[in-house]
Chains A and B, each alone.
Chain A
């Protein structure tokens, strides 16, 4: 009890049912090597890379298949060994279709990496670490997919004072980060240390929600002797893992409106990203697999899988016992901010932290009616906005008014829609309002 009082948090937020019991006790298992993978070209926020392979090329696991192109871009790597069978538009989990390279596997899983002589990763210079992170194609694995090497090198006038490793995992159902911290706390800490070096930050915090006490203990025990790495217990509350809220909870700083964590001397990285950084620097391993939680009431045998990028959801779901007949909604990510899928025929990408199948979609059924002015949304908004007024402005198409009410500060966590009794389509309205405002500012300039 005393310890939970010490747990830190932010203002606002909601308490959806955590639903983590199904998978939190299940060790991460390596999924079967997929016979075919489809690797979408766009798997990072920013500029899309450029394919450097053609149909018929033979590639080995970890071999580069696309080159970074543009300032905000990272390369892509083959996740199995085999032959490029086609490069075409296929359904992608972000919605719609996108260009992807299909690799027909030879079942040998021949590696293209790990041959370089091993250097002590902790002896690497800042520039070397950043280069390895970039070359390994590492992006934010929490779902945002922003290139990690760029996040770690803000403009020189912004000095980073600390790194926060995000182990909050506040979305219901997801346990991938939980298992990673529990099973590989040493790798998380080693990754954190490399990130500290790359960011030139003197200390790091690893923020973990109070419902993952075993993971917290594992990390705390290993970091006990370190004065510069501290495990922090966070209250269980959604969206505790949102970047700005995590920073507020951990170091009590508020990222200014429209600003970035670097503005308050902080950089946040997900635990999965930290492990990927460690693997890239320690073993030269490119980012071609990740941990994915497959869960939800409509999945027969929920599990935590280590999955090769590009593996079709269909394969992973089959290995999780398949779906029950009542499955109605399929989500990539968590159920709060995740993206609904229309088919299981989409590939796992770098930002796929979970695959969730749910029986019904109550929120989709709610017909919007007039706002009751109850004020629940104001109380839960982690950004201190007035969602009710943004919604009303957007419903009338008054985009500028929505802007005045701060819609651009909204991170679309969905806490307002979660508690609202009269509407569930707030996030759609906010997205639309942001788009309209962007269009307008574009015209004005």
Chain B
């Protein structure tokens, strides 16, 4: 070791300390937060749900790796973002879809919606939702063939929102059934309880803020109430909780400030409500979020935080209290 006075040190700009955080940690926390709901999906819909989820995750990671290789960019699948996209894509699919369809969805999600725009951080639209929207448009039958809760075999059932939209002569599930997830639906959207648990974890960890879910739920409830529907039912049924807590809170595609996120969430809630009431589909969360994704840059532009020193009102009196 050279003496202190002849040693050379690293010249680097400040700050010379860094918070112990990384993209990887964020993504793995989101993955963890999704696991309880995934467990419930498998419990409800059987091994098919697990197969679909595994296929989505594997194909998303594979597509990301292949595309990055082809583009001669560094392969960054270890950052976990493709895993999250795979999970979220699977969460938005019925458990009975054929596995090749998950591969198609993954290619659209990762290759088109994410890597075409430049990869993580540059994508405008939520990749998983683009994947789902593509599949919904291309294979509407498979995408709306639901299994009822607890049916591990190929029985078809209906979702609560489907019962309303199609005016089916079926009994609506109770609030408690919907809260716990004893209903039909996509793999990851049924259990409000477990989704909220995961969201609470992310909230405490600071990876999401309260603004988006709260304004999403508020606007959706308001919209439902105005159109004469049950607001609580609107939140518990379908993908509202999954969308509000995990998709509309996607940091890359949503506004950056709290104020912006309030507007974003409210827009998502209103559009979801509008699609459900007047649209052709029973569910509208996916399209609502994608539409609002397009507004993110302009929302950001008009919701800058208040700058220090821009206060217009007078300065307070100095007093020693």
- A-to-B contact residues, CB < 8 Å: 11, 14, 16-17, 161-162, 172, 203, 205, 230, 244, 248, 251-259, 264-265, 312, 314, 317-318, 322-323, 325, 327-331, 335-345, 356, 358, 361-364, 366, 369-376, 378-379, 381-386, 388-389, 405-406, 409, 412, 414-415, 417-419, 421-422, 424-425, 427-428
Contact = CB atoms under 8 A, between A and B. Distances in A.
Given A340-B9, A386-B304, A14 B14 contact: no
Main secondary structure of the interface of B (DSSP, over half): loop
Given A205-B320, A253-B315, A323-B4, A342 B9 contact: yes
B70 interface: no
Nearest to B257: A378
Contact of A361 (B16, B209, B305, B315): B16
B175 interface: no
Contact of A327 (B7, B11, B15, B23): B7
B280 interface: no
Given A203-B318, A336-B15, A363-B17, A370 B4 contact: no
B4 A318 contact: yes
A331 B16 contact: yes
Contacts of B10: 328-329, 340, 361, 364
A386 B256 contact: yes
B5 A254 contact: no
Contacts of B4: 314, 317-318, 322-323, 344
Given A254-B309, A409-B307, A421-B26, A375 B251 contact: yes
17 contacts: A312-B5, A318-B4, A323-B7, A328-B9, A329-B9, A329-B12, A336-B16, A337-B15, A356-B16, A364-B12, A370-B122, A375-B251, A384-B305, A384-B307, A384-B308, A388-B256, A422-B121
CB-CB nearest 8 A-B residue pairs: A370-B121, A414-B15, A364-B12, A257-B309, A314-B5, A335-B16, A330-B9, A230-B320
B254 interface: yes
B2 to A, nearest CB: 10
Contact of B14 (A323, A337, A388): A337
A421 B9 CA distance: 25
Contacts of A358: 16
A304 B307 CA distance: 38
B22 A421 contact: yes
A358 B17 CA distance: 9
Nearest to A366: B18
